[in-house]
Amino acid sequence: MTLAPTERLTEDRLLAELERLPAQQAAAVRVLYVADDPTSSASDLAAAVSVDPVLTAQVMRLANSAFYGLSGRVRSSDFAVTVLGFATVRSLAAAHAAGAIGDDAVIPTDFWAHAAASAAGAAQVSARLGVPRPEAFSLGLLHDLGAAVLCRLDPVSFREVEERASAPDTRQAALFEKRAFGMDHAAVGGTVLAAWRFPAELVDALAAHHEPLTATSSRWQRCLAAGQSLATLSRFADDRRADATDLLPKLEGDLRMGDVDPRTAFDLSRGVRTEAQAIAASFG
């Protein structure tokens, strides 16, 4: 579909369009609700996952990735759910339901590489801020889900936004998205995950991830911002050239908000890079 200028996205229209996406899988949505039910067991969640072959394969691949240290030893959905935890399985289900996982997925350039690095970075700083590690991982993994939704809804317009913006997942890109669609990817992601009953702290942090941090920013916002800074640095972890080291002062504020000493940031980013590579590999 292509959105006409008079048909800008609104929250109601977004959710209606999402329900009509070809990649929308009823089984994946069922997983979201099973994961949200406090009476569900790991076996209940595994049973819901196993109905969908695409989701099952992704859950198994991630559980067997080097990130979890169990390569080749996870051979059942039940064990995979135990390894990943409810928060991560729920995040994978959301990605699949939104059309970002599967052979027919239409996603932004380098989507999963960026998501993996952000997930690894957020998980790295989670304990410093008192954010549960699985939830921090999910926040990083899903923070750009709205971009995947916009790309799926109107790939031509989204590619035009990508070409105009100097870099993806920036305030500049978000501004171009709002002009093109009526909503930017942060607002889209927040709307979708709120509809699927994700935790309010996660939804709010994701929806605000292009807003400047302040003294009143939540620990979830600070976790994502610091995690993304580590993800950015991870691209230059072994590079001491001026253009790499000059990047650090630009990220210092967000790093400190995440209780990360900028003097140790490059060392931390090496671990983030290794973990991100393992995560991204599970998404192909």
Q: Is 189 helix (H, G, I), strand (E, B) or coil?
A: helix
- Please check whether residues 199 and 75 belong to one and the same domain: no
pLDDT tens-digit readout, 176-216: 999 999 999 999 999 999 999 999 999 999 999 999 999 89
Select from 74, 52, 50 the least CA-distant residue to 62: 74
CB distance 236 to 247 below 8 Å:
yes
Say if 264 falls within a structural domain. Answer: yes
Residues 194 and 135 in one domain: yes
Token pair 């993996």 is found at 116
**Band of residue 2 on the pLDDT scale cut at 50, 70, 90:** very low
Give the predicted TM-score (pTM) of the model.
Answer: 0.92
Q: Domain check: are 136 and 252 in the same one? A: yes
Q: How far apart are CA 145 and CA 33, in angstroms?
A: 18
Tell whether 256 and 143 lie within a shared domain: yes
Q: What is the pLDDT of residue 144?
A: 96
Residue 7 located in a structural domain = no
**Domain termination site, one of 34, 67, 97:** 97
* The residue to which tokens 């899988």 are assigned: 25
Per the CB < 8 A criterion, the answer to whether 173 and 165 are in contact is yes
Q: Are residues 139 and 60 in the same domain?
A: no
pLDDT band at 125 (very low <50, low <70, confident <90, very high): very high
Q: What is the domain-level CATH number for residue 148?
A: 1.10.3210.10
Residues 133 and 239 in one domain: yes
Q: Give the Cα separation of 45 and 143 in Å (integer).
A: 23
3 located within any domain = no
Q: Could you tell me if residue 204 is inside a domain?
A: yes
pLDDT value of position 6: 41
Q: Which residues have CB under 8 Å from 40's CB, separation 6+?
A: 34, 86
Check whether 159 has a pLDDT greater than 90: yes
What is the tens place of the pLDDT at every residue in 20-36?
765 456 788 899 999 99
Per-residue model confidence (pLDDT) at position 3:
46
Q: Residue with structure tokens 């932004």?
A: 108
Q: Is residue 222 part of a domain?
A: yes
Q: Closest Cα to residue 136, out of 183, 85, 97?
A: 85
Higher-confidence residue: 236 or 253? 253
Residue 48 tokens read as 């819901």
Task: Kindly report the three-state secondary structure assignment for every residue of 220-255.
Answer: HHHHHHHHHHHHHHHCCCCCCCHHHHCHHHHHHHHH
Q: Which of 77, 97, 117 corresponds to the end of one domain? A: 97
User: What domain range includes position 76?
Assistant: 25-97
Query: What residues have CB less than 8 Å from 148, skipping those under 6 apart?
Result: 95, 98, 99, 100, 105, 106, 107, 108, 111
Residues 263 and 124 in one domain: yes
134 and 272 together in one domain: yes
For residues 270 and 158, state if they share a domain: yes
Report if residue 15 sits inside a domain. no
Same domain, 158 and 79: no
Q: Is residue 11 part of a domain?
A: no
* Shared domain check, 110 and 90: no
Last residue within a domain, chosen from 97, 117, 146: 97
Contact 93, 27 (CB under 8 A): no
| Number of domains, the chain | 2
One domain, residues 266 and 162: yes
Tell me, yes or no, whether 65 lies in a domain: yes
Helices (H), the chain: 11-19, 26-36, 42-50, 53-63, 77-84, 86-97, 111-129, 133-142, 145-153, 155-164, 171-181, 185-195, 200-207, 219-234, 242-245, 247-257, 265-282
Give the pLDDT mean for 138-157. 94
Weakest-pLDDT range from 2-6, 51-55, 90-94, 208-212: 2-6
